[in-house]
C-alpha cells in the first residue's frame, strides 16, 4: 500500500488507454503517466498508476484526511487534489475509463488501529453525467473488508450542491460531508441507543445513516463517523485508495 510517495511523471511514446495498457507496454514502476481513454473528448491527462497486485491499476481516489472531500459537483466532475497525495481523479474521466472495457475495483484501507484491509469487486462501472454518474456495476465481493458498499450499487452520485440521493429526510452528501453514491439505506431511521460508527448525529442523541461505506467521508469526524464500516467494525480510517483494472 502506497502513501504520500512522490513520483515524477513518466513521458511515454504515444498514449495508452489506462494503467494496464501502460503496464503491458513494459512500464512497471509506480508513478504518474499520461493516458488517453477510448472516446475521451479532451486532451490526454495524467493518472497515478500502481503496478503491484498484478500490475496496471489506475488509481482514482486516495484519501488520508489531508485534502477535504467536501467538494461541489463541478469539483468531483473535473477532479481535485494532487496525484502524489490525496485526490479524486474526476467523475467524467472515471466514466470514460470504466466504459471503454470491463473493469474490476479494488480498494485498500488502513484503519485507525493500523490494520490493513482490502476489498475487490469483479465489476465496476459508472454512468454518464446525464445519468448522474450512477454506480451502474458492482460485481462480487472478495477481500478482508465488509461488503456494505452494495448499499450504494445503483445509486446516483450526490454532492452537497447536487442532491441526487433518494433520502427525503435530508441531503446525505451534506450530512456525510462528501460526494459519493449516497444511498437511502435507513436514512429515515432514528436510533437513540446505538450510534454505530457508520451513522451520523441528526440532532441531540438521534443517529441515522445514508451510507455505510463512504470512503470519501471525514476521516477525523466525531467518533469516527461518516467514513467506512462493516457496521461498527472499522470506525475510523487513516488511509484509503481506490483503483480499477480491466477484468
Q: Domains in the chain, ordered, with CATH?
A: 9-153+238-246 (3.90.215.10)
Residue range 119-134: mean pLDDT, rounded: 97
Q: pLDDT for 50-93, tens place per residue?
A: 999 999 999 999 998 889 999 999 999 999 999 999 999 999 99
C-alpha cell at 111: 484503519
Count other C-beta atoms under 10 Å from residue 216's C-beta: 26
| E strands in 54-112 | 57-63, 80-81, 87-88, 103-111
Angle (CA) 178-184-186 rounded to 5° is 110
Question: Where are the alpha helices (H) located in the chain, listed in sequence order?
Answer: 19-24, 73-78, 91-98, 172-175
C-alpha cell at 122: 469483479
Q: pLDDT for 135-181, tens place per residue?
A: 999 999 999 887 878 888 999 999 999 999 988 877 888 877 899 99
Amino acid at each position: 500500500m502506497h502513501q504520500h510517495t512522490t513520483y515524477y511523471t513518466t513521458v511515454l511514446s504515444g498514449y495508452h488507454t489506462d494503467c494496464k495498457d501502460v503496464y503491458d507496454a513494459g512500464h512497471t514502476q509506480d508513478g504518474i503517466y499520461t493516458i488517453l481513454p477510448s472516446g475521451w473528448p479532451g486532451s490526454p491527462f495524467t493518472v497515478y498508476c500502481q503496478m503491484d497486485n498484478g500490475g496496471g491499476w489506475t488509481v482514482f481516489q486516495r484519501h488520508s484526511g489531508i485534502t477535504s472531500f467536501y467538494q461541489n459537483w463541478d469539483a468531483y466532475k473535473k477532479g481535485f487534489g494532487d496525484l502524489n497525495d490525496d485526490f479524486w481523479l474526476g467523475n467524467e474521466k472515471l466514466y470514460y475509463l470504466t466504459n471503454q472495457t470491463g473493469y474490476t475495483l479494488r480498494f485498500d484501507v488502513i484503519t485507525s488501529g493500523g490494520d490493513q484491509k482490502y476489498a475487490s469487486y469483479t465489476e465496476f462501472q459508472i454512468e454518464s453525467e446525464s445519468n448522474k454518474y450512477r454506480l451502474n456495476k458492482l460485481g462480487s465481493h472478495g477481500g478482508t473488508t465488509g461488503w456494505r458498499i452494495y448499499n450504494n450499487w445503483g445509486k446516483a452520485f450526490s454532492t452537497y450542491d447536487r442532491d441526487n440521493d433518494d433520502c427525503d429526510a435530508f441531503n446525505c452528501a451534506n450530512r456525510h460531508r462528501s460526494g459519493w453514491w449516497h444511498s437511502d439505506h435507513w436514512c429515515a431511521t432514528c436510533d437513540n441507543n446505538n450510534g454505530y460508527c457508520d451513522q451520523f448525529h441528526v440532532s441531540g442523541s438521534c443517529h441515522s445513516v445514508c451510507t455505510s461505506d463512504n470512503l470519501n467521508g471525514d476521516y477525523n469526524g466525531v467518533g469516527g463517523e461518516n467514513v467506512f464500516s462493516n457496521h461498527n467494525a472499522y470506525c475510523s480510517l487513516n488511509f484509503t485508495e481506490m483503483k480499477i483494472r480491466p477484468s
